[in-house]
Structure 1
Amino acid sequence: MSDLDPPTRDIARALVFDPAGRLLLIEYEAVRPIDPDKPDARGFWFMPGGGLEPGETHEEACRRELAEEIGVADVELGPMVAVCDGPFHLFRKPRYARERYFVVRLPNDTIDTSRLAETEDNPVRGTRWWCLDALAASEERVEPAGLAALAQQIVTGDVPGTPVRLNWRNARPRGR
């Protein structure tokens, strides 16, 4: 399998909100340049979550990943609000990612990321609770495209009734 036709991976992630309506994101270091015009720019922000284990549903995987990555167990998952399917090349192991995104509202902003780096392919730079206005205005690389707008929509109470389709920035169609 080549970088142009990477293996498929089913993934569950969460838009994790605190009571102030901030969104939790994890910053990773890309293994290859993100932007050819900025070869030193290697950081990108992503939601907590990860790949499904054999026999797991997306919901089960999301709960397990949140416990592993941010130390929050037994979360109540809200609805699946988005999907993002396509080739993703910023992680050490490129993949054709089939991602499903769920809403999680925490009772406070207390998280424990002490185990986060143990399970990740790429170096973890840190985590941050993002104010949604700052996230929308940021020039930082946030994946997938459209995440900030979706988060703002959800925080205002307009939760999509059917999952919206998001896309990876600069994604190439499969097989090209």
Structure 2
Amino acid sequence: MSDTKADALPLRHIARALVFDPADRLLLIAYEAVRPIDPERPDARAFWFMPGGGLEPGETHAQACRRELDEEIGVPDAPIGPLVATCDGPFRLFRNPRDARERYFLVRLPSDEIDTGRLAETEDNPVLGTRWWSLAELEASGERIEPAGLAALVRRILAGDIPAVPVTLSWRDA
């Protein structure tokens, strides 16, 4: 059976990065959602997400990932590692909802120094900030972090178990 809401959304191929610093913290970006994200807290409108964005014509996912990391966090030659996860389906928290086909790459930076000076100008939704998250903070957080399953994937990667086959993650709205 077809999801007519998903069918009506534009298809968008996206490359994202699980960006780790030398302390094994994951970089996430906070965005303002276009609608309430928690029925228990109607005023909650922020969600955390990984850096990345849509592919441009002729780009591979890895090329798009590298370009996006330059644009969003000021790292022009990020070492793009293996594809570790996918997440496909309708995503409606951005101003321009989409039927997303997201691919997630592992990226380890030599330092935690980033430059987010251009981040807000590249995004659909207002950017509320960036933060480096430890695994313990990810697992204990009551914040909305997308996609579901991210903390378990981070735990696996930090244990040295890099998925040979990409892990399938899911949107919390699905």
The TM-score with structure 2 as length reference comes to 0.95
Aligned to 1:91: 94
Aligned residues: 171
The within-5 A match list for 1:33-112 is 33-112=36-115
User: Is residue 2:48 matched to residue 1:18?
Assistant: no
Identify the match of residue 156 of structure 2 among 142, 145, 153.
153
Aligned to 1:174: none
Aligned to 2:122: 119
- The answer as to whether partners of 1:77 and 1:104 remain within 8 angstroms in 2 is yes
Aligned letter for 2:132? W
CA distance in 2, matches of 1:101, 1:167: 12
Q: Secondary structure at the match of 2:29?
A: strand
Cα offset, 1:73, TM superposition: 1.0
CA distance in 2, matches of 1:2, 1:27: 26
- The answer as to whether partners of 2:6 and 2:89 remain within 8 angstroms in 1 is no
| Aligned residues: CA RMSD | 1.3
CA distance in 1, matches of 2:33, 2:173: 14
- The answer as to whether partners of 1:21 and 1:131 remain within 8 angstroms in 2 is yes
Q: Percent of aligned pairs with the same residue?
A: 73
Aligned to 2:166: 163
CA distance in 2, matches of 1:15, 1:5: 29
CA distance in 2, matches of 1:152, 1:20: 14
CA distance in 2, matches of 1:90, 1:36: 14
* Structure 1: gaps of 5 or more residues: 172-176
Q: Secondary structure at the match of 2:162?
A: coil
CA distance in 2, matches of 1:23, 1:75: 15
The TM-score with structure 1 as length reference comes to 0.94
CA distance in 1, matches of 2:127, 2:7: 25
CA distance in 1, matches of 2:5, 2:167: 29
CA distance in 2, matches of 1:54, 1:4: 22
Cα offset, 1:152, TM superposition: 1.3
After superposition, what is the alpha-carbon deviation per residue over 1:119-168, rounded to whole angstroms, capped at 9, x for unaligned?
A: 10000000000011111110100000000110111011010011010000
Q: Secondary structure at the match of 2:39?
A: coil
Q: Secondary structure at the match of 1:160?
A: coil
- The answer as to whether partners of 1:3 and 1:94 remain within 8 angstroms in 2 is no
Q: Secondary structure at the match of 2:131?
A: strand
Q: Secondary structure at the match of 2:138?
A: helix
Q: Secondary structure at the match of 2:121?
A: helix
